[in-house]
Structure 1
Amino acid sequence: MRFRCRWLATRNRERDDVLGRLRLKVVGELVEEVYDNGLYALEVDDWLVVIGDGFDHMDKVKRAAAAALSDGGEVVYLFTDDAAMAFELVMFGGGSELWSVAYDGRDGVTAPTFEGAVPWRVRTLLAQLQKAQAKAGGPKAEVDHIYALAPTYAMEVVGFRHDETVASGEHVPIWQIAPKTSR
């Protein structure tokens, strides 16, 4: 299955406040695994995750909104597109970008781009993935281990991975959300 999504996570904040600031509202509640594309929110420990899963929903979770939301605490933001083999992982705080890692593997395995004070763990994880890539045959291999950097690191920090957590059934309820309509 190919994933294309954007998600953000913020810690120790009230769901309704976060959704209100993102101009989103709860429209349903699921107490089961979710396999369908959609716009969802869920709690993972002390993190609130908002995910736009699929082409028709990912535009509802905006990078600029994640930055603005970070005026009340750190926000992790991830964009990933399996078709293009591209990702962007960003940590926002105080309303601005603290650091980011971007990757574009559309033309094959390459090195990610780092901006700001990227955590040391991201760099050590990259070294491990580069080693796995070399073992698999290097850049010409049929697999791109480097592409796993962002979701793997995000899982370590937030406990959420876009291609596993929502379908696991471990973090329920999962709220179906939708944009608030203007009046």
Structure 2
Amino acid sequence: MFKRFFLLSFSIVFVSCSSTASYSKVENAKPTKQWGVVEVKETARSMSHSLSVYYKTELKGGYFEWRPLQNSTSEHIDTKLITNEILNQLTKDKVPFVDTSIREDATKEMAFGRTGMVSSDSRLAVGKFKSPSHQIKGEINEVVNFESGNKIQYISVTLFLVSLETNQIVWSEQTNFLKKSRVEGYGF
């Protein structure tokens, strides 16, 4: 009897601790109280489209480098996720980027290739690095107000494209969100 009770108890605990997951289409995402899918997707869509059009119609050349986004909001926002979404779309649109963070590793590999220990058909050639002509940088800012038990949050995502040659901001774009959510327990 004790063994049955123990097995039954163990089974109930095991089943109740297991969880299931389900997936939905990103396009069907609903706004939430926190920064979420809706904000990431809308930011990536609008920013990448605007910058791609600017690159193809105005610049018509050069290489971009991305600087990390600055999150100045009270929310935890994964800025790398936004960056990756925008970079992915811009790369699909054939906007060229360089990643200067790997120069040191590439330089070491080139030096190693010159030692004679690397076959000539796979040795990295010297003098082929590309320099960025422009940097993309940006900020996420917010203003938060509380009115009648509601949190009203104005969030602004701003990107800038800066010419490295002239330090001139040559393009900028903003995506804005006005979120209203009920605050439980507000105003006791």
TM-score range for the pair, normalised by the shorter chain length = under 0.3
- Higher RCO (CA 8 Å, separation ≥ 6 residues): 1
Which has more helix, going by share of residues? 2
Which has more strand, going by share of residues? 1
Structure of larger gyration radius: 2
**TM-score if structure 2 supplies the norm length?**
0.24
